[in-house]
């Protein structure tokens, strides 16, 4: 069962992509303070993730900040080197933290795993966006497999504007 609004984000080990190299972080500590949006993609460099999901958050980062978001982060079940290359190619800069969930530990802990074995991609994360306030899930926007709408930057902004 997926994590729900009102539940505390679990603490699992992730790798934060940094200019000076990968840094291990704990998800509960990273998102323990402030108002964050965490969005997950099934895979770096995959078509929808590269053409629409990550670019949408890059494009709308300033608006999300205006709406009180103090931290924007992207997570994928990829290794930190793939995430670093993707961040550089996409031009995510310092506006979006790029997080590698290399073993899928966060996806599993959240109950948001995706079995993409039929496509040769193994276990991945479902596509979602999540509002996290001081370590507590405020809202979860989950896209059904094969779709992209609920977790887009535009949809998150609409939800935050009406909240």
From the list 44, 65, 40, 43, the residue with the least C-alpha distance to 152 is 40
3-state secondary structure of 162: helix
Nearest-5° Cα angle at 21, 49 to 27: 60
- Choose, from 49, 64, 75, 156, the residue flagged as catalytic: 49
**DSSP state for residue 132 in the 8-state scheme:** E
Under a CB-based contact definition with an 8 Å cutoff, are residues 4 and 140 in contact?
yes
Sign (positive or negative) of CA dihedral 70, 12, 75, 110: negative
Decide if 74 is catalytic.
Answer: no
Structure tokens at 65: 């900040």
Beta pairing, strands 71-76 & 97-100: parallel
Catalytic residues: 49
């Amino acid at each position: 069962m997926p994590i729900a609004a009102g539940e505390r984000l679990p603490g699992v080990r992730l790798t934060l992509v940094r200019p000076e190299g990968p840094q291990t972080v704990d998800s509960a500590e990273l998102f323990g303070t402030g108002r964050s949006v965490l969005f997950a993609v099934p895979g770096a460099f995959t078509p929808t993730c590269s053409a629409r999901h990550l670019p949408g958050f890059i494009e709308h980062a300033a608006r999300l900040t205006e709406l009180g978001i103090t931290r924007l982060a992207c997570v994928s079940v990829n290794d930190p080197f793939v995430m670093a290359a993707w961040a550089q190619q996409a031009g995510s800069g310092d506006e979006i933290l790029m997080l590698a969930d290399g073993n899928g530990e966060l996806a599993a802990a959240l109950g948001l795993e995706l079995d993409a074995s039929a496509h040769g991609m193994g276990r991945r994360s479902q596509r979602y966006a999540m509002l996290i306030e001081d370590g507590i899930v405020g809202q979860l926007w989950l896209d059904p497999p094969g779709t992209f709408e609920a977790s887009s930057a535009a949809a998150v902004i609409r939800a935050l504007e009406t909240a």
